[in-house]
Amino acid sequence: MKAGNVMEAHEHAGDTIHACRCEEIMNSFNPNYFINAGNILLLVAYSVHDVLWLRLFAVAASLITIPYFVLQPTTLWAPLIWTVVFAAINSLQSWRLFNERRPVKLTPDEEEIRRLAFRDLPPRKVLQILSLGSWTTLEVGEHLIESGKIPDAVSLIVHGKVRVTRGGHVLGELVPGDFLGSALIFSGIPAEVDASTVEPGRAMRWEIGPLERYLAANPETRTVMLQDVARDLAGKIERVTGTNHL
C-alpha cells in the first residue's frame, strides 16, 4: 500500500471516529431537557405579579426552548419560528416597560407646575400632560376670558396675576397655581365673567381637544386632574367669599 493511501485511510478513520463520538454524545443528551426547562420558566413567569418580570421570564423560556426544536432529527421550523417571534415581542415590551419605569427628571419649570397643580401625579404623567400644552406669556391688559364666550383652552397660571370681573365689578384675582377656564370648559356654558392680566407672567395653556382625548385614554389621570380642578375651584370660591365678607 502506498504511503498516500495509508494517510488517507487514517484521516478517514479519524473522521469516522469523531462523527461517531458526536452522534453518541447527541444520543446521550435528551433535548427534552430544554423544553422542560422552558416550561418551568413559564410557570415561574405566570407566578410573578410584576408584568416586567413576567415578560423577562417569558423571553428566557422562549430562548431556552429553541435548542429543543433544532436538535430534533428534523428541525421543527414552525414552532421554532413562532418561538423566536414571541421572544422578540416580549423583548420589545420588556424594553418599553423598563423605559417607562426609569426615573424622570423634571426641569425647574416643570417641577414648579407639578408643585402648583399636579402634586398627586407622578413625574412621568406630568410630563405627558405638559407635552400637550404650550407656554404662553401674559401681557398686562391681555383679555384671557370674555363674557358670553366659551374658552377654547385651559390655562394654568405659573407666574403673574389675572383679575376676574363681572359687569365692571372685581370678583377676585387669580394667582400662580390657579386654573383659568377649566370650570367653564367642563361645564360647556359661556363665560359670565371677564378675565384680564394685571401683572405680567407666564402660563401653561392646553387646547381643549387634545387634552380631552388624552384624559379619555387615561382615566386614572383624568380622575386626579378633575380632583385638582375641583380643589382649585373650591379655593377660588373660598377667596371670593372671604373677600366679600371683608
Spell out the domain ranges in the chain: 31-101, 108-245
pTM (2 decimals)? Answer: 0.61
pLDDT 10s per residue in the chain (246 long)? Answer: 444 454 454 455 455 554 455 455 455 568 899 999 999 999 999 999 999 999 999 999 999 999 999 998 899 999 999 999 999 999 999 999 998 888 888 899 999 999 998 888 889 899 999 999 999 999 999 988 888 888 888 899 999 999 999 888 888 889 999 988 877 666 667 788 889 999 999 999 999 888 889 988 989 888 888 887 777 777 777 766 655 544
SS3 (DSSP) at 138: strand
SS3 (DSSP) at 170: strand
Q: Summarize pLDDT for 146-159 with one digit per residue, the tens.
A: 888 888 888 999 99
CATH superfamily of 108-245: Jelly Rolls (2.60.120.10)
Q: Summarize pLDDT for 22-57 with one digit per residue, the tens.
A: 455 455 568 899 999 999 999 999 999 999 999 999
